[in-house]
Amino acid sequence: MSPEVGMEIGKFVFFELLNSNRSAKWRIGNNINECQLCGKCQSVCPSDAISVSRHNRTWTLNNRRCDKCLQCVLKCSARCLTQVSR
């Protein structure tokens, strides 16, 4: 197989995986009792999908904005973010 064909197959597999993740039947859930409202998930989210207010003691997710990259889950040191069924 030529390197060009290998690259094309690699790109195809990558975008198929990305699209299947985006249409998956899950969303990000927060075990709010464990959440420290530190805001790290908000700052790492590339889609501006998370809003954290220490003042109001709220954590909210705009699920329509979320592209399911899981960066917030990886960043959360309290480990209170998980994938939950929609």
Position 69 contacts ligand SF4 (CB under 6 A): yes
Q: Is residue 29 part of the contact set for ligand SF4 (CB under 6 A)?
A: no
Q: Considering only 8-16, 17-25, 43-51, which stretch makes contact with ligand SF4 by CB under 6 A?
A: 43-51
- CA 53/CA 13 separation, integer angstroms: 39
The shares of helix, strand and coil residues in the chain, as percent rounded to the nearest 5, are 35, 20, 45
Q: CB nearer to ligand SF4: give 11 or 53.
A: 53
Q: Does 51 bind ligand SF4 (CB under 6 A)?
A: no
Partners of 58 in the beta sheet? 53
Closest separation between CB of residue 13 and ligand SF4, Å? 21
Distance in angstroms (rounded) separating the CA atoms of residues 69 and 8: 23
Amino acid type, 70: L
For residues 9 and 21, which CB has a smaller minimum distance to ligand SF4 in the complex?
A: 21
